[in-house]
């Protein structure tokens, strides 16, 4: 797939505007005959579907359930099997940690060490408030090791993220985690020669942290895994000459957007604030990635009704997006999260593209099964970006 090369050759800067509305985890499965989207009252999305071209997308390929990272990369036009985002980086983005070119991050657990053995890898799932206190203590007392700056960021319960900042760091490091209880402490090992100094520094950091925590009853040591440097992705501007903005309430999606070079707009935690932000900044950008989280959260909770309500709530904002008169408006999701399965799934995403330059089809109801009859057919989500750019007049002819 030469899409990146073709994109760089054919994309042109124009004044046209694209809005990509991602209803996270939108796709579902039938419960009593209807999916969440089919059960929801969505007059605005249905009206829009009637004037749009529809289809179904596979985030990676049929059968593959993607994490949020690959699912979004694909929607932004990046081959999700080529650009792999480490667990550490996703965890860091999820708690709002900024990761730069000289940073190394890892996922951490506070754990219980006894007589040289890790007896509880989760330190009895200490309360999040205790986690926050411990991280504060470590940040106050353990600022630097071997000239590398150290920062701890609390997550939920026993989880945290650690960031190492400095020159010459490598993420070619094995997990410093025995993976099960009752095993001895495992230091990290360098997986390539240039990671030797990083391994020494990480192990020294772990020893110092354990020393500082020695009087805690449960959380008296740390485990680290999923070491990741900052992934190097070409930006949306480099690939497509876009000046893109991300409009999202949650850190993970803001972080993903930043990785591909989007400007992350300042947005509060509620759904209306997403649409306020698009309106406020509409003149300053030519591409808006708008992320609605509620649909996915409700699906993860297995809450069919809550997901249906989240869909209906989002439907109410469609007229506000349309009143901006974007050249292209796409409504889709990154992956499916059927409440029936209480998690991400491999099922394809409904996809709708509204533009003056689009073929219209017979789809008059925005749903998984109606979209399967759309003119776009079933396609890999990586083609969403070429389709959006083409319909916005941002791709010139390929070849003579």
Q: Which residues of the shown chain bind a copy of itself in the complex (CB under 8 A)?
A: 1-3, 6, 10, 29-30, 35, 56, 60-70, 80-81, 84-87, 90-91, 340-341, 344-347, 357-362, 368-369, 372-373, 375-379, 383, 385-390, 395-400
Q: Which is nearer to a copy of itself, 6 or 190 (CB)?
A: 6
Q: Is the dihedral of CA 284, 285, 286, 288 positive or negative?
A: negative
Q: Give 61 or 282: the residue with its C-beta nearer to a copy of itself.
A: 61
DSSP-derived secondary structure for 168-195: T----B--BS-SSTTEE-----BSSGGG
Residue 34 has φ and ψ, to the nearest 5°, of: -130, 140
Phi, psi of 247 (to 5 degrees): -125, 95
Shortest CB 189 distance to a copy of itself, Å: 21
Sign of CA dihedral 132, 134, 137, 141: negative
> Helices 128-141 & 196-212, crossing angle to 10 degrees?
110
Residues 6 or more apart whose CB falls under 8 angstroms from that of 250 comprise 291, 293
Q: Which of 6, 225, 218, 250 is nearest to 106 (CA)?
A: 225
Q: How far is the CB of 316 from a copy of itself (least distance, A)?
A: 27
Minimum separation from the CB atom of position 65 to a copy of itself (A): 5
* Residue 180 Ramachandran class (φ > 0 left, ψ -120 to 50 alpha, else beta): beta
- The least CB distance from residue 107 to a copy of itself, in Å, is 10
Distance from C-alpha of 290 to C-alpha of 297, rounded to nearest angstrom:
16
| Rounded-to-integer distance, Cα 393 and Cα 400, Å | 18
Q: Measured between alpha carbons, how far is 397 from 163 in angstroms, rounded to an integer?
A: 45
Cα–Cα distance for residue pair 248/334, rounded to 1 Å: 14
| Residues 69, 385 contacting (CB under 8 angstroms) | no
CA dihedral (48, 49, 55, 57) in degrees, to 10, reads: 50
Q: Would you list the DSSP string of 104-139?
A: EEEEEEEEEEETTEEEETTTTT--HHHHHHHHHHHH
């Amino acid at each position: 797939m030469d899409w990146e090369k073709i994109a760089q050759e054919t994309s042109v800067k124009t004044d046209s505007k694209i809005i990509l509305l991602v209803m996270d985890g939108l796709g579902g499965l039938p419960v009593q005959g209807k999916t969440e989207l089919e059960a929801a009252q969505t007059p605005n999305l249905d009206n829009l579907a009637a004037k749009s071209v529809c289809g179904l997308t596979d985030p990676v390929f049929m059968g593959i359930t993607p994490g949020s990272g690959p699912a979004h990369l694909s929607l932004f036009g990046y081959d999700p099997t080529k650009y792999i985002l480490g667990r550490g980086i996703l965890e860091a983005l999820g708690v709002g940690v900024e990761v730069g070119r000289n940073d190394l991050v890892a996922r951490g657990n506070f754990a219980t060490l006894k007589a040289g053995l890790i007896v509880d890898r989760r330190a009895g799932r200490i309360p999040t408030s205790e986690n926050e206190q411990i991280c504060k203590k470590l940040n106050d007392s353990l600022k630097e090791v071997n000239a590398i700056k150290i920062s701890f960021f609390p997550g939920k319960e026993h989880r945290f993220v650690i960031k190492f900042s400095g020159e010459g760091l490598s993420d070619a490091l094995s997990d410093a985690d025995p993976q099960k209880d009752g095993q001895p402490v495992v230091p990290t090992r360098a997986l390539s020669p240039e990671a030797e100094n990083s391994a020494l520094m990480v192990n020294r950091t772990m020893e110092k942290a354990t020393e500082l925590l020695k009087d805690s009853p449960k959380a008296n040591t740390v485990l680290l895994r999923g070491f990741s440097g900052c992934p190097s992705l070409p930006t949306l501007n480099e690939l497509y000459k876009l000046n893109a903005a991300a409009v999202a309430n949650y850190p993970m999606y803001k972080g993903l957007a930043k990785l591909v070079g989007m400007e992350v707009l300042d947005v509060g935690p509620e759904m209306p604030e997403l649409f306020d932000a698009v309106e406020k900044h509409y003149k300053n950008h030519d591409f808006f990635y708008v992320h609605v989280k509620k649909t996915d959260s409700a699906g993860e909770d297995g809450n069919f009704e809550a997901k249906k309500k989240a869909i209906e709530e989002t439907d109410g904002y469609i007229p506000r997006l349309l009143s901006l008169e974007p050249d292209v408006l796409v409504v889709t999701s990154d992956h499916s999260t059927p409440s029936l399965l209480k998690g991400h799934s491999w099922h394809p995403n409904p996809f709708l593209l509204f533009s003056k330059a689009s073929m219209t089809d017979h789809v008059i109801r925005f749903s998984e099964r109606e979209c399967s009859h759309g003119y776009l057919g079933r396609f890999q989500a990586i083609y969403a970006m070429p389709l959006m750019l083409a319909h916005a007049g941002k791709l010139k002819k390929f070849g003579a």
